[in-house]
Chain A
Amino acid sequence: MLRYITRRLLLLPLVILGVTFLLFFLTQRLSPEMRASLYVKDPRQMGSLEEVIRRYGLRDSVFKQYGRWLGNVVRGDLGYSPSANMPVARAIKEYLPATIQLAFVTILLVVFFGVWFGSTSAVHKDGWQDIAARMVSVGGFSLPIFVLGLLLLMVFYGKLGWFSTGGYSFHTDMVIHGGSFKTYTGLLLLDAVLNGDWRVFGDVLSHLVLPSVTLCIGSFALMVRVMRSSMLEELNKDYVRTARAKGLPETAVVYKHAGKNAIIPVITLASIQFIRLLGGTVIVETIFDYPGIGRFGVLAAQQLDIAGILGFSLMVAVLFVIGNLLSDILYTAVDPRIRLD
C-alpha cells in the first residue's frame, strides 16, 4: 500500500510534466506574437511585442521555451490572461473555490438522490418505483448536460423566475466586496456561515441550485445503477435472511443491515465522480455564467488566450491526478478486501 502510494506520487510530476509539455508543444503552432501574451504582465506592454518576443526568446526551440515556462510556474508566475483580464495565478485563485463549491454541492445531490432512488428501486424490484428509477437513470445517461441546462433555464429562470444565472446577486456582490465581509476560505458558502451572514448564504445557495442539478444528472444516473445492483446483491445474502428470520422489521433489515454494506461501492464511486464533475463544470458554468474555473477555461480556449489555457490545463491536471490517487486510497480504506500494488 505504502509502496503503491509512493510510486504514484513519484509518477505524479511526470504525468503533469507530460500533459503540460504536450499542450506547450501544440502552442508552438501559433505565431510568436500570439504566444507573447504568456509573458506580458501588463496589457500596456503589448505595444512593444517585438521586444517581448526577443526578450523571452519566443523563437527558441520548444524545449528551451518549455523550461523557461516551467521555471516561471515554479515561481508561481503563470502569465497574464487577457480573457480574464488578470494574471492567470490570480484568476485561478479567484475562480477555483467557486468550482469546488459547485462540485461539492453537486456530489451531495448525487449521493443523496442516487442512494435514495437506487435503494428504493432495489427494494421494489420490478415494481413501478424500479421501472421509474431505471428510466430516469437511462435517460440521465443520454441527456446532454447542455440540453438539460437550457431546458432548466427556460423553465426556472425564464418562466418561473425562481433562480437566476451567475454566481451571486448584485446585493451579495456589494456585501462580499464591501470590506466588512471577511474571506476565510474563498468558498462563499462557508465564508457566509463564518461571517454569520445568512442572506449571502441563501443567495449563493440559490445560485447553485440550477448548475448543480444540471451537473449531477450523469453521475446521478450512474449512482442509481450502482446503488441498485449493490443493494440487490446484499438483499440476497444470508445475513439478510437471518435478520428477516429473527423478525426484524423490514425497514431495519433494508436500511440498517443491507444498506450499510450496499453503500460501500457508492462511497468510492462518489469520490471518483467528484473528480469527473470537474470536466462537466466546463459546460455547466458556461451555460449558467457561473464564475468558476470551467468558465475561465472555456473563455481562454475560445479567445486563444494561451497563458489562460496552459494555466487552466495545468491546474485541472494537478487536481485530477491527486483526486484519482485519493479515490484509490479511499477505495482500500473502505473495502479492506481490495489491495493495491
Chain B
Amino acid sequence: MLKNRIFKRIFTNKTSLVGFSLVLFFALVALFAPLLAPVYNQNNPYQMPQKNYQIAPQPPSAQNWFGTTEQQYDLYYGVVWGTRLAFKVGVTVTFFAFLIGLFVGGTAAYFGGKTDETLMRLTDIVFAVPSLVLAMVIAAMLGPDIKNMMIALTAVAWPSYARLIRGDILSVKQRGYVTAARTLGARGPRILLRHILPNSIYPSVVVASLDIGYVVLTAASLSFLGLGAQAGTADWGQLIAMARNWVLGTAQNPFAYWYTVVAPGGAIFLFVLGWNLLGDAFRDILDPRQV
C-alpha cells in the first residue's frame, strides 16, 4: 500500500517527478562516468586531467565541453567524476552515520534510564556546535583528504539519526503487539530485533537516505573552504573554490570566466534540488495527516 502511494505521489506530482528525474539522471551519470569521461589516471580516476600548465581558465570548446578552470583542469571531467564522488561521499557518510545512530539511538531507547540520559547528552554535545563548523574543525585536524572529510561528516551527522531512531523506538515500544509479545514470554533481544526494529526503522531509513543531498552540500562546503578533497580531485566544492579567483573576470569583460562557476555550481544546485524535491514528496507520503 505504501509502495502504491509512493508511486502515485511521485508520478502524478510534477515537482516530485522533476526531483525523481534529476536524481535518476545524476545516478546514471555517476554509474556511467567511465564511459562519459574516459579515465585519465588509471591509479586514481578522480584525478582531473590537465591540458597544460597555463593558469587562466579557457572557455568551452569542442575539446573541453564545459571549458577548463584554473590550471587547465577539464571542467566536464570534473563535473562527471564529481557526480560519482558526490554519490560515493553521500552514500558512505549517510550509511555509517545511520548505523551509528541506529546503535546509539537503539541502545538509549531500549535500556532507558541512565544509559539513555548519558547517550542523549552525548548527542547534545555534538549538537552544541553548528554541524558545518564542527565538521570543519574535525576535518582540519585530520588533514585535507576525502577520507578524512567523510569521517568528519559522519561524526557530525549521526546524532540526528540517533534522536530520530530513539523517538521512533520509544513510540513503538508502547504498542499493543510489543506488550503481547512480552506476555507470550519473548525475551529482550527478540522483541527488539523482531518486533520493535522492523516497525520503527523504515521512516528513519527514508529520512536518512534523503539526507544525501544535504551531506553532499556540506561536503562541498568543506572542499570549498579547502578542508576536503586534495588539489586536482574531481570534486564540485573544489572546482567552485578554484573559480573563486576568477569571478571578477577581466577589466573589459567581468563575465569572462562565467563557466568556471556555472558548470560545477549548476551541477551541485541541480543535484541538491533533485534530492530536496524527492524529500518533499516523501515527507508528504510519510505524513499521515496529508493523506
Are B125 and A19 in contact, with the CB atoms below 8 A? yes
Residues of B within 8 A of A320 (CB): 128-130
Residues of A within 8 A of B124 (CB): 11, 15, 18
> A158: nearest residue on chain B (CB-CB)?
B254
Are B247 and A153 in contact, with the CB atoms below 8 A? yes
Nearest-neighbour CB distance to chain A for B121, whole angstroms, equals 7
Stretch in A108-116, A134-142, A237-245, A327-335 touching the partner:
A134-142
Bound-state Cα–Cα, A172 to B276, Å: 43
Nearest-neighbour CB distance to chain A for B240, whole angstroms, equals 6
Within 8 A of A (CB), among B115-153: 121-122, 124-126, 128-134, 136-142
Mark A125-150 against chain B: 1 for CB-CB distance below 8 A, else 0. 00000000000001101111011001
Q: Is residue B165 contacting chain A, with contact meaning CB distance below 8 A?
A: no
Q: Is residue B181 contacting chain A, with contact meaning CB distance below 8 A?
A: no
Q: Which of A18, A150, A279, A287 contacts B132 (CB 8 A)?
A: A279
Q: Interface size (A, Cβ < 8 Å)? A: 47
Are B265 and A309 in contact, with the CB atoms below 8 A? no
Q: Which of B128, B138, B270 contacts A18 (CB 8 A)?
A: B128
Q: Is residue A88 contacting chain B, with contact meaning CB distance below 8 A?
A: no
Bound-state Cα–Cα, A146 to B136, Å: 15
> A275: nearest residue on chain B (CB-CB)?
B130
Q: Is residue B89 contacting chain A, with contact meaning CB distance below 8 A?
A: no
Bound-state Cα–Cα, A190 to B240, Å: 35
Residues of B within 8 A of A158 (CB): 247-249, 254-255
> A26: nearest residue on chain B (CB-CB)?
B141
Q: Interface size (B, Cβ < 8 Å)? A: 48
Given contacts A142-B269, A301-B137, contact A317 B129 (CB under 8 A): yes
Are A150 and B128 in contact, with the CB atoms below 8 A? no
Q: Is residue A262 contacting chain B, with contact meaning CB distance below 8 A?
A: no
Bound-state Cα–Cα, A29 to B143, Å: 11
Bound-state Cα–Cα, A11 to B122, Å: 11
Nearest-neighbour CB distance to chain A for B21, whole angstroms, equals 15
Q: Is residue B225 contacting chain A, with contact meaning CB distance below 8 A?
A: yes
Nearest-neighbour CB distance to chain A for B257, whole angstroms, equals 9
Within 8 A of B (CB), among A30-66: 30
Q: Is residue B243 contacting chain A, with contact meaning CB distance below 8 A?
A: yes
Stretch in B1-9, B44-52, B202-210, B216-224 touching the partner:
B216-224
Given contacts A138-B273, A138-B277, A302-B227, contact A316 B265 (CB under 8 A): no
Are A282 and B225 in contact, with the CB atoms below 8 A? yes
Interface residues in chain A, defined as those with a beta carbon under 8 Å from any beta carbon in chain B? 11, 14-16, 18-19, 22-23, 26-27, 29-30, 138-139, 141-144, 146-147, 150-151, 153-154, 157-159, 276, 278-280, 282-283, 286-287, 297-298, 301-302, 304, 309, 312-313, 316-317, 320-321
11 A-B residue pairs with CB within 8 Å: A19-B128, A29-B141, A144-B240, A144-B272, A146-B240, A147-B268, A150-B247, A280-B132, A301-B136, A302-B225, A321-B128
Interface residues in chain B, defined as those with a beta carbon under 8 Å from any beta carbon in chain A? 15, 121-122, 124-126, 128-134, 136-142, 213, 217, 220-221, 224-227, 237, 240, 243-244, 247-249, 254-255, 258, 261, 265, 268-270, 272-273, 276-277, 280
